[in-house]
Structure 1
Amino acid sequence: MILRISLTFLLTLCLSAAEKPNFLVIMVDDLGYSDIGCYGSEIETPNLDRLAQNGLRFSQFYNTAKCHSSRVSLLTGQYCVAAGDVALSHAVTSAEVLRDGGYFTAMSGKWHLKKEPTDFGFDRYFGHLSGACNFFKGDNTFRLNGKPWKVPDTGFYTTVAKVDHALEFLEESRKADDPFYLYLAFNAPHAPLHALPEDYAKYKGRYDAGWDKVRDTRIAKQKELGILSKNIKSSPRPPHIRAWDKLVPWQQGYEINRMVTLAAMIDRVDQEIGRLIKDLEKNKQLDNTFILFVSDNGACPYDRRKPLLDVEPTNGDIALADSTGWAWARNAPFRFYKQNQFEGGISTPGILHWPAGTKLKPGAVIDTPVHLIDVLPTLAEISKSTIPSKHPTRELRPVSGVSFLPIIENTNFIRPEPLYLQFSKDFGLRDGDWKLVNFKGQEWELYNLAEDRTELNNLATSEPKRLQSMITKWQEISRNVLHSEKIANTKLTPASNPKANREWTKFSDANEPPTSAQKKAGRTGKLSIRARKNTKLTRKDNALHLSFTGDDPGIAMDFRRTTKPPIGPYFLSLTLTTSSKDTGHLYFTTNQTSVLPKGAPISFPVNGDNTPQKIRIAIDTNKSLHQLRLDVSSGPGKAIIEELKLLDQNRKTLLDWTSK
């Protein structure tokens, strides 16, 4: 009798495990709304198109408009700041939830958060901890299951390597006979723009017509596919982008090369997804694997490298930068870009393929807005896993996302609270058909997306009560969910039109390209120190006071347009006070062509105990410095730098940035 009960119990367990679906969540990097075939693109993406044809497409799948914050939301079901930002100090991850629910958990790809995936529930991990890297050479942050992994000198390309390891992890899960959760995070098509030679060759000659015609063709295809209403009014080309036929010849050629490379990178992502699909089919797992394809933000407009003409970026020594003009075309039909909370920044492709669980007609388009915060609750509900309310070392906060399983099952989906939007000083709120939004800390705008999806008709003046009600709600969520009075009380500035950004592409009337990367604003004027992105720099009492509002902050010093210091070796000496324990990095270049942060890196410990820490970093070179970049933090926080000096090998001061 006991034997019979035990066998029955074991059989029940086996059946339960067999019925549990697998999960494959794929996130790409900086993909525009119209960048794949089933969303209007001319780029060949047959594997993604097949998933869409046999699955579902979301016309309003939202992200946070930024790399790291979207990853936080995807993994935790929370808004980034609420979750504890890159430290995840107030959250658990989907890997932890599903691991405790009996799943084999694996990740391959870009992490871009603190610690490592193996510290947050992933049984297996391959990839880079950094936010971006050379596609052919990688960087020193690659890890395999928690241990450093050396990038091969030849035969390496990140997009391929990530799927190589993903396939190995899937095979491990089959041997363990457990359902799997695989999170695959490509760093394509994020810059630096690098393509495999065979993919690059495929797209040569396809973009000579330029962005105006490509964008118009994509929008027409979107309407034909039903991903957009046939009545939608596309946003016009903005003043900061020049008409294609007005570009000087060298700039046209450069821009064509950039889009050829981007298309090749996206094509390669699709090819590698095809390898995964083939493997799942071969092992009869495709139908009961929940596959979700998303992007972390829209196309990136930030043009951070000098133009390179007549080159092919098909190796690790040559790379191209992002293009504002092509980002506008790629985010068709919307306005603005990565980091902005307008639709061009936050609305990207969302494809769901799960034949065993979907009750909608294959190929259906879902117009209900969903967000990355909804992914964890959805996975938990489908797998019948529990999202915990307590953790031994973290003070957890409730998830803000809502399971979208009712959408998949064609039942009633209810979102009790509006969708909150924020990165840096770009804010927004989506409440039903209405959207509150601003641009880079400027005053609020209001749009009815049911009638105006492309945000062309600002109703802030004609709808003052609705405007104020939504502002109040946005502030309430900032205080009560994000726990940030600072964000809630942000003072907005008057709107400026047309909108501008110092890192958008500058268009030239010259017959020759510039010899250096386009100039950026924000230099202090004192021995040329520049606050990098997400960094506010002020001088006070012979010290540099730094405030960091996002990832990858720091300062940079450029000697290329000034008198360069004598040849090295050198020391960089400083006194640092901060409460953030971290690993700092110093990058330097010694020639005109290298561009930060691609110079030689040096790491150093940051104590983070809020007492002055004397730091002296050896810079081992016998050449003259061209650029320096100093990162004392990897995320939000504050720091004070005093006695910042460049010393020669005999400790004699060559430059002093902090004395009067």
Structure 2
Amino acid sequence: MAPQRPDIIIILNDDMGFSDIGCYGGEVETPNLDRLAREGLRYSQFYNTARCSPSRASLLTGLHPHQTGIGILTYDTGPEGYAGDLNRQCVTMAEVVKGAGYRTYLSGKWHVAKNLTEPTDSWPLQRGFDEFYGTIIGAGSFYYPNTLTRGNDNVEHEARDNPDFFYTDAISDQAAAFVRDHHAHTPDQPLFQYVAYTAPHWPLHAHPEDIAKYRGRFDAGWDQLREERLERLVRSGIIDASWQLTDRDPTQPPWQDAEEKAWLLRCMEVYAAQIDRMDQGIGRILAALEETGRLENTLVLFLADNGACAEDIPEGVDLSSLVDDLMIARGETRDGRPVRLGNDPSIMPGPEDTYQSYGVAWANMSNTPFRLYKHWVHEGGIATPLIAHWPKVITDRGGLRHGAGQLPDLMATVVEVSGATYPSEFAGNAILPLEGSSLVPSFEAETPREAPLFWEHEGNAAVRIGKWKLVRRFPGPWELYDMEADRTEMHDLAATHPDMVAEMRASYDAWAERCGVIPREVILESMKKLEGTAFWEKD
């Protein structure tokens, strides 16, 4: 280990598939992430929790999301449901490392607080961050986002009054500024920063010059490109050659039969441009670390909050509810033009007056070679790239790690490298025990996972013990897969291993009870009391 406490930067992006970035087999140009991978480590079997808010809650606290009060999203599902608010039974990374002398910064999306407009004890400054710039809500316009906040103050005017404002750039530039300002004022104090992008979450917003870079890049269509991605993943050693590529989503046509190809291609080009813009910003953050002489002893971790998003934004969605109630859209652009909401193929995505998503077929490609998407806990919903870069410590440059891990492991890692102490009590509240295991041993060598991994989201549930994974797509039956022979989950072995299913089901049930998982049936009954269901909440 390095004798001096390192700076720590965790970079999380939003709704990106396992194989989108260049160093994980994708077509998107990500030279800065590729550099981090080339000089650091890539993990092939790291997992998130399948959804934005729960993943953020788990990453920040080292607990499973249900334990933090955020089992679904930051909406209260009723008196029997989760509160949708970060509770006081948990501590954030920022709260923990401050005890070890770190100064703490957050640039980007928060999305673990129920109150979107008034500061509460679940807002960033109240949960350990010295400086915060970003959004409280989980999605919205990249040109004019709702809930844009600096500290505890709303600063939406900074976007409204600046014609060049773009949220991805703002997150990156503020993160780089935090590094420079910190070094200028407290050069000897260690720095902890959480950089939480909204890219490439819908809406599909991107700069014309970034979109233009990808013109023609996806013209071969999703079927051929999925095959090509798999070849690159196998060649790089991330995916085993024996694992079968999953079928195209059964709801989607072969590429040659797809209609509205020009619009479909533009959707994927804009999505790629969103990731490209993020990578450009990561480059500026790395440049700030290099300019201040801090990069050598900085642990940088990069990952995604869930698998690719297959949510369609249908025409006819009530715009007023998204603007006024959920605060994830604007009714008008900054210059007064109406926002055109919905996946209408006559409207090309990208500009500020559009609000669209890229759909099931491209999400299927983004998750190559896995099944399903965000929301579900089959591999397509939970498998994330994870890159670790720490020049002073990681000597296996360009190495791969295949041991399984999940989000609570990041808190354990931060605690170890920072020299902090994870508390049993904080600010007068009893704190739940840490659920993760540190990744630090894997920085030197492969470290197989022995402890079970667990997931639950909207009734979709899984447990992984060693090579075995038991998984359910709610309300369907439990399925059993051998992750060593069949990580793409193509061959269900539940019928031939009933004893294994029963044993793993018992392990899952015990975990669910211990961690406060509310049965999905109870949640659905509670949700009946709410008026309406958003398009992304439909089962």
Alignment of 1:165-564 (within 5 A): 165-174=174-183, 175-177=185-187, 178-248=189-259, 250=260, 252-306=261-315, 307-359=343-395, 361-410=396-445, 415=450, 417-480=451-514, 482-484=515-517, 486-487=518-519, 537-538=527-528, 545-546=529-530, 555=532
Shift of 1:313: 3.1
Counterpart-to-counterpart distance in 2, 1:331 and 1:94: 29
On the 8 A contact 2:173/2:284 being kept in 1, the answer is no
On the 8 A contact 2:48/2:383 being kept in 1, the answer is yes
Q: Which structure: greater helix fraction?
A: 2
Alignment of 1:59-70 (within 5 A): 59-70=44-55
- Counterpart in the other structure of 2:58: 73
Task: List per-residue Cα deviations over 1:321-342 (Å, max 9, x = no partner).
Answer: 2310000011000000001100
Shift of 1:288: 0.8
Counterpart-to-counterpart distance in 2, 1:225 and 1:18: 33
Shift of 1:51: 0.5
Larger radius of gyration: 1
Q: Which stretch of the first structure deviates more once superposed, 454-463 or 319-328?
A: 319-328
Higher normalized contact order (CA 8 Å, seq sep 6+, divided by chain length): 2
On the 8 A contact 2:449/2:466 being kept in 1, the answer is no
Shift of 1:18: 8.2
Counterpart-to-counterpart distance in 1, 2:227 and 2:291: 40
Counterpart-to-counterpart distance in 2, 1:61 and 1:435: 14
Structure 1 residues 335 and 372 mapped into 2: Cα distance closer, same or farther (>3 Å)?
same
On the 8 A contact 2:173/2:285 being kept in 1, the answer is no
Aligned counterpart for 1:43 among listed residues 24, 28, 39: 28
Structure 1 residues 320 and 411 mapped into 2: Cα distance closer, same or farther (>3 Å)?
closer
Shift of 1:441: 2.4
- Counterpart in the other structure of 1:123: 130
On the 8 A contact 1:305/1:321 being kept in 2, the answer is no
Task: Please give the TM-score of this superposition, normalised by the length of structure 1.
Answer: 0.70
Counterpart-to-counterpart distance in 2, 1:555 and 1:147: 31
On the 8 A contact 1:166/1:184 being kept in 2, the answer is yes
Counterpart-to-counterpart distance in 1, 2:28 and 2:159: 30
Question: Can you give the 5+ residue segments of structure 2 that lack an aligned partner in the other structure?
Answer: 71-84, 114-121, 316-342
Which secondary structure does the structure 2 equivalent of 1:365 belong to?
Answer: strand
Structure 1 residues 391 and 218 mapped into 2: Cα distance closer, same or farther (>3 Å)?
same
Q: Which stretch of the first structure deviates more once superposed, 311-320 or 60-69?
A: 311-320
Shift of 1:253: 2.1
What number of residue pairs does the alignment pair up?
483
Q: Which structure: greater strand fraction?
A: 1
On the 8 A contact 2:242/2:485 being kept in 1, the answer is no
Counterpart-to-counterpart distance in 1, 2:45 and 2:229: 17
Which secondary structure does the structure 2 equivalent of 1:98 belong to?
Answer: helix
Alignment of 1:14-25 (within 5 A): 19-25=4-10
Letter of the structure 2 residue corresponding to residue 265 of structure 1: Q
- Counterpart in the other structure of 2:141: 134
RMSD of aligned residue pairs (Cα, Å): 2.2
Structure 1 residues 138 and 479 mapped into 2: Cα distance closer, same or farther (>3 Å)?
same
On the 8 A contact 1:433/1:450 being kept in 2, the answer is yes
Task: List per-residue Cα deviations over 1:394-429 (Å, max 9, x = no partner).
Answer: 3321111111111113275654x3111111111000
Counterpart-to-counterpart distance in 2, 1:470 and 1:302: 31
- Counterpart in the other structure of 2:68: 83
Shift of 1:491: 7.2
Letter of the structure 1 residue corresponding to residue 134 of structure 2: G
On the 8 A contact 1:30/1:300 being kept in 2, the answer is yes
Counterpart-to-counterpart distance in 1, 2:129 and 2:17: 29
Counterpart-to-counterpart distance in 2, 1:330 and 1:152: 30
Letter of the structure 1 residue corresponding to residue 504 of structure 2: M
